Chain A
Amino acid sequence: MPYFIDRRLNPKGKSLANRQRFLRRARTQIREAVQKSLKDSAVADISKERKIKISSKGTREPRFRLDPKTAGERDFVLPGNRDFTPGDEIKKPKSGDGGGHGKDAADYAEGEDDFEFVMSQDEVLDIFFEDLELPNLVRTTLKETPNTVWKRAGITTAGSPTQINLVRTMRNAQGRRLALKRPSLRDIKALEDELDRLEREDPQSEETRAKIVTLKENLARANAKRKWVGFIDPIDVRYNSYTEQPVPTSQAVMFCLMDVSGSMGEREKDLAKRFYMLLHLFLRRRYDRVDIVFIRHTHDAQEVDEQEFFYSRQSGGTIVSTALDKMLEIQRERYTTSDWNIYAAQASDGYTQSGDARRCVEMLNADIMPLCQYYAYIEILDEREMEVFASEDSGAELWRAYRTVAELWPNFATKRISKPADIFPVFRELFKKAESTG
């Protein structure tokens, strides 16, 4: 008798343990590959699974094998002879053993071969974020002890007397009283009055006496019924129910500040956008809730939606401090520091009205930096400028001004980028482990 067994419902992922071992084993290669892959691909694609190609170094499985190509001799048999006769010679293919032994050739090339496989989004991101940590995460309200709040969760039949729901209880009681026809006080009073009136009648007729007897019986019955159909019965009682629910204890707001004046072209905006997206992705993984506020500025700052922020153009001068003003204003209105972690990311091409840089520095030092978890400033240059400003110390007015802020505040970072490939390294450096930034 055969046994048919349906295994389809057995737990899946039997080889998960092996996969984890493999990922750990090839950690170095995978990290390199993931970083390279992230560097080259659009930021929006970060939340997708991706094909990763790693060198087989570290995951080699060597075996002793023969190498007939270097020395010695051998015979082998092949199918599909067309017109060869004994003694014929067949030229050996130049590289690789193509003469029907393609498989061997691949095996022999070990050490060079790459290994390609698909990594899930989570696996990629875990590696991506592995040794990152948001700086200065020591927040008073947050993180380690998740806050909870009591929330209503309907009505129950059991609870403590303090939680009794009077309306519900009384409504139930009344319904029950009606259903069971509990005599009201008024009914009793009416019976008593009637009894009283009849008893006072003089002379009492036969009929009246009979009535009195009936009335007395009715009255007794009504009083008894009032006793056993209580005004409030335990089955009427309802309590308000509450459950403890975690509240998003860690929430962050991310201010995106950008100069949208004419000097910021398509390319600059694109770079800035990638930077914001990366930061956003990162915050989203760390915090339960992340708000984004887009503030664009020319000589005047406005809060706009994302579409406007990236795609609409405005002409005008450049006054950076207006954006900082706007940010402070919004923060005061909507994002109190006790509830929100505040992050700011500013992108600019480095130009501002002369004298404005000094005001920015004052604002940052006095008002903004004390509020912020982190403030990142990226200056987008073109490649040529990048070479000119090879040194950290040289640069436009805003850059030099911000450098002084960076010296005072460890959680203030400034970076220059010029091409998409720069973004990732910048990002890594901005969010290196807390120790290195303070």
Chain B
Amino acid sequence: MPNLLFTEAEWDFAALDRTYKAIEEIALGDLKLDVYPNQVEVISSEQMLDAYSSLGMPLMYNHWSFGKLFAREDTLYRAGYTALAYEIVINSSPCISYLLEENTMTMQALVMAHAAFGHNHFFKNNYLFRQWTNAEGILDYLAFAKRYIAACEERHGREEVEAVLDAAHALMDQGVFRYRRPPKPSKERVLEKRRRRAEYEEEAYNELWRTLPAGIEPPATPPTPDDDDGFGGDMKLPEENLLYFLEKHSPTLKAWQRETLRIVRNLAQYFYPQRQTKVMNEGCATFVHHAIMNMMYDRGLITEGSLLEFLHSHTSVVFQPEFSDKRYSGINPYALGFAMMTDIRRIAEAPTAEDRDWFPQLAGSGDWVGALKDAWANYRDESFIEQFLSPKLMRDFRLFALFDKADDEAYTVSAIHNEGGYRKVRSLLARQYDAGASDPNIQVVGANLKGDRKLFLEHHMHRGVPLHHATKDLVLTHIEHLWGHEVAFEEVAD
């Protein structure tokens, strides 16, 4: 056939280019996707491991925990326990996706469809990413972070910096704004300027210390033009973002330590939408690659052999073991996301009577592209499941809900995939994907800045579930390190 894009398993850049153009035509023309410009990079397996261990980012500041991650991944990979990632894609503009050099040409096509169009569209359009991350600025910001941390290590010693980073990493889950919009990660230039000012202040501040006669306290708050820098200022309590609070109000941190906290906090915020949209993000990418690969086959652009190779890897990606299976490790986001999106298409094109009851607007509308684009843009995992999980899918997955009370000897089955249980199972599953509910709710409720400088934290327990004891104590030591004074912690029942 003259139309075939490639026939060999080996890839070359010409074939990549041809295939990319064909994929692009389908993605933009048929699926009407809207994407950032793409940058596709070919890397070796070792570089893939490198990328893994720096949280999937192309550049990252240095810290031992990334070395630990690398060591772990490297060991597992070498022992053959894990295969390398399907792909890595970065929420940035241009959107960077990595192709592994060992992939066959079919796999390269699959990965381009998956990452460069599926994920890319999701990053660009989903409301969480649009509101909370800054795709244009992230790479500049990481470059700044890397330089800044390196400079701090040089100036203040590696151990000092490590101590702050350790503590900040421990609080990463508590370093995000869940409800109020965070300040955008500023461009490097702005931060450089701010850093210089902070450094100047630090020096001036030290001067002040030295010249003051003994017995006289330095001013409680250094004179700063805005309360964005330096500690003190108006505390807005309670505060759920511990890193933000410590950065702004810790009485002991130096300017560079505050900046370090800010870096970690910005990263945490950048990754937060990904945590909330795992099912949708992977579902979107998987749905897109599945649609594109099939259309390419239908149009005679790829061979039957390629299609089979693609289907083989596709099915292993969307495989969902049952709960009693040894391989079970939670619900596979690829499987659930892909199934739900395929289901939306089915409901739009060939609804059953049940679908008409449950999804009166969507059923039979025929516009599955529009429906999916709307879902991708305006939902996160929790709301997506609450809205779109159909009874048919619950039956397909044979979902059931368990109730677990710590003191009981047994779990109780509270609902299953039947007429009486659909709504309950769906709500409970949706709740399971609510990052706000699965993360412990910890807040700063007070800080005694004038007196003994004690910091008061509260954990608002949800349904009586306490914090894991040993790790709590370890994290508290980190908080004390950052706060510099005693920290009181209380678990409050709801």
Contacts and interface: CB of A to CB of B under 8 A. Distances in A.
Interface of A: 1-8, 10, 12, 14-15, 17-26, 51, 59-82, 84-92, 99-103, 108, 110-111, 115-118
B192 to A, nearest CB: 23
Interface in B126-174: 158, 162, 166, 169-170, 172-174
Contact of B68 (A66, A102, A108, A115): A115
A99 B172 CA distance: 29
B186 interface: no
Interface in B106-121: 116
A7 B46 CA distance: 11
A59 B169 CA distance: 12
A66 B478 contact: no
Interface string B390-421: 00000001111111111111111111110011
Helix, strand, loop or mixed for chain B's interface? mixed
Contact of A65 (B16, B414, B440): B440
A65 to B, nearest CB: 5
A118 B409 contact: no
A68 B16 CA distance: 49
Contacts of B294: none
A74 B70 contact: no
B173 A14 contact: no
B16 A4 contact: yes
Given A12-B46, A68-B404, A5 B464 contact: no
Contact of A77 (B41, B54, B72, B400): B400
Nearest to A80: B322
B482 to A, nearest CB: 14
Nearest to A98: B324
Nearest to A88: B413
Interface of B: 13, 16-17, 20, 24, 37-44, 46-47, 49-50, 53-54, 62-68, 70-72, 74-75, 78, 94, 101, 116, 158, 162, 166, 169-170, 172-174, 320-325, 328-331, 397-417, 420-421, 425, 428-429, 431-432, 438-440, 442, 459, 461-472, 474-475, 478
Given A71-B465, A103-B330, A78 B323 contact: yes
A1 B465 CA distance: 52
Contacts of B169: 61
Contacts of B66: 15, 18, 22
Give me the 3 closest cross-chain CB pairs, A-B, nearest first: A80-B322, A22-B67, A72-B464
B404 A75 contact: yes
Given A84-B416, A110-B471, A4 B17 contact: yes
Contacts of A71: 406-407, 464-466
B415 A86 contact: yes
Contacts of B53: 15, 18
Contacts of A77: 331, 399-402, 425, 428-429, 432
A61 B63 CA distance: 12
A79 B320 contact: yes
A335 B46 CA distance: 48
A18 B67 contact: yes
A69 B461 CA distance: 14
A24 B321 CA distance: 40
B65 A61 contact: yes
A117 B162 contact: no
A82 B399 CA distance: 10
Contacts of B408: 92
